[in-house]
Structure 1
């Protein structure tokens, strides 16, 4: 099983290591030499052995074949370096703030999931986020995770942490390290946590999962979700993350559902509502895409329509996403008559779902009431 991955990444060539956020850029000549070396079964070059020791503390034997530890990714056209995938929309929680709305447990069978992951590989996806719903409750999660790793993807798993204690999940995350496991935190006490998830005992499951993952040394980051239930516990949540020595970020703005529903908005802590960071463009649809549980690709999790059916069109369908992305950024609908649209700093698909939810203008419009700015 590979320990390192060599891949083209936009205009660069990278070598990365599963389980590590560190990487190195290599010149094109050295990269093509690695392609030839692994193809021929030749010994790894001395510079790679040295770099692996310095960057990742990997003790690789001089003279060992490069293919024994290195996976060289094939060139892709089109090249989408990152993707996110909702493996399903089902969840073992029923969180009040959830942007998914209807959490139906449905999606592709194993043949479909395998084909989708191969399409992602062929599209050049190096960084893959597996999310849900709760991805770890999908009966095919471990098979999908294993295949994504075997195809040479740096995997991020977005989870509520409730099942990280399970031996089979810990085993997979230890043998095939994720780039990162991102755990959402919904409170610092059982009262707030269980209140938001509407599942008694969910805080205890979170604590059990975190304890097991920390003991196993799983690389993690915490998303601290601050809602009405935990409005007075943000400092406690931050302290919890710092006591664990984990990178963390507070998410304070609740979003309408992906269907434009407002049922998630009452969970918003009014005192924590912040102005979103000014939108200055992004690579959604151009070098990044999102896939739902059925293999329907969109520019991102928010701008889901128009879309591309990857199961019907394959990797070639992604050629259309760039034009879709550009069209979705046009000021239409509720913003079409705005006199200040020329200076607007809001992502248009984001504004659209707020407008569909009939949310107060100040909750998403940059020209509304002035608030402290936050990244998301």
Structure 2
């Protein structure tokens, strides 16, 4: 497997080391120099060895450059990042899950390969693999290894239930992910198991986090606060800081399900609800997109309709996503009577889900007066 990736990225050129946050920016001339050296079977230019030593204390192996560096071709599609739900099945049953009904289904292996290859060809350099629970997919390890081999930097979003298993630790030791984002649902077995509705889940979770810390894996914790575990917020933070020393974020605001169902909002701990960050725009549909378990691409995880089917339409269907993104931001829906709709600072697809769930505008409207 390659030691380095050289790739275009949104008008720039980068040299990256799989599993490491630090990267090296290079001019186009040096990127083209690397492409030519790999094509011709030449050794690495001296500047690359100096750069990798400075960035990672990593000497380049001798011999052909192509044995150490994967040079990705430019893409005409203009995307740099994507997220992929490998399946929606999950071994937890949290009441606040934004996915709603979690059915275990997805693409067969040959189509997973075809999809991942399309993501590479679209220009995707950073790929988030998520679910459901990604690690319970029987083909997760093979898909992860294949995506890594294509030259993508992989972030995995997981509930951590499988991290205690030796095969997972062995996989991530051999092919280090760029980041492991792990959700934390409680500080005690009683609370954690009640939130996840899975007996023994806390024990498996803590063993997995202990193993990941021992292996030096790049874990980041998402501390999810709901009515059922709000009494353990401080204890969850102490676990993150004192037991594991992992960076973390605290999430307190729930969203409706992707189908606009209100169920997750009932789980919110009212004391901890915070005003949402003002929406100032995003690149969803333009430089980033989301793919569901069936290969259907949308601008993001929230704005799923309209969408394009990559498996039946092919990669060229992505060209429609930018127009879809613009139309979704202009759609007024339940805010059609608001006099400030032209300067709205709320993500429109998110507002639409709230409106379908009952239109409690205090949870998403950034104008305060609600159109006054």
Category of TM-score, reference length = shorter chain:
over 0.9
- Show structure 1 runs of 5+ residues with no match: 371-376
- 2:346 aligns with 346
- Distance in 2 (alpha carbons) for counterparts of 1:168 and 1:250: 30
- 2:182 aligns with 183
Q: CA deviation at 1:334?
A: 0.2
For residue 342 of structure 1, give the secondary structure of its aligned residue in structure 2.
helix
For residue 329 of structure 1, give the secondary structure of its aligned residue in structure 2.
helix
- 1:159 aligns with 158
In the alignment, is the contact (CA less than 8 A) between 1:193 and 1:229 conserved in 2? no
State yes or no: 1:337 paired with 2:337.
yes
- Distance in 2 (alpha carbons) for counterparts of 1:342 and 1:270: 30
- 2:270 aligns with 270
- 1:36 aligns with 36
In the alignment, is the contact (CA less than 8 A) between 1:331 and 1:341 conserved in 2? no
For residue 83 of structure 2, give the secondary structure of its aligned residue in structure 1.
strand
Question: Could you give the per-residue CA deviations for residues 60-107 of structure 1, whole angstroms, max 9, x where no partner exists?
Answer: 24x532111100011111021000000000000000110000100001
State yes or no: 1:114 paired with 2:113.
yes
State yes or no: 1:326 paired with 2:331.
no
State yes or no: 1:69 paired with 2:68.
yes
Question: Could you give the per-residue CA deviations for residues 110-157 of structure 1, whole angstroms, max 9, x where no partner exists?
Answer: 011000000000001000000000000000100100000000000001
In the alignment, is the contact (CA less than 8 A) between 1:162 and 1:208 conserved in 2? no
For residue 264 of structure 1, give the secondary structure of its aligned residue in structure 2.
helix
State yes or no: 1:315 paired with 2:353.
no
- Distance in 1 (alpha carbons) for counterparts of 2:328 and 2:126: 24
In the alignment, is the contact (CA less than 8 A) between 1:362 and 1:369 conserved in 2? no
For residue 276 of structure 1, give the secondary structure of its aligned residue in structure 2.
coil
Q: CA RMSD in A?
A: 1.3
1:1-376 to 2 correspondences below 5 Å: 1-61=1-61, 63-243=62-242, 244-368=244-368
In the alignment, is the contact (CA less than 8 A) between 2:164 and 2:205 conserved in 1? no
In the alignment, is the contact (CA less than 8 A) between 1:183 and 1:220 conserved in 2? yes
Q: CA deviation at 1:284?
A: 0.2
- Distance in 1 (alpha carbons) for counterparts of 2:338 and 2:175: 50
Q: CA deviation at 1:294?
A: 0.1
* Stretch of structure 1 that moved more, 250-259 or 338-347: 338-347
- Distance in 1 (alpha carbons) for counterparts of 2:29 and 2:249: 39
In the alignment, is the contact (CA less than 8 A) between 1:291 and 1:298 conserved in 2? yes
- Show structure 2 runs of 5+ residues with no match: none
* Stretch of structure 1 that moved more, 168-177 or 284-293: 168-177
Q: CA deviation at 1:301?
A: 0.1
Moved segments of 4+, more than 3 Å: none
For residue 229 of structure 1, give the secondary structure of its aligned residue in structure 2.
coil
Q: Output the TM-score relative to the length of structure 2.
A: 0.97
The aligned length equals 369
For residue 83 of structure 1, give the secondary structure of its aligned residue in structure 2.
strand
Q: Output the TM-score relative to the length of structure 1.
A: 0.96
In the alignment, is the contact (CA less than 8 A) between 2:98 and 2:257 conserved in 1? yes
* Stretch of structure 1 that moved more, 134-143 or 165-174: 165-174
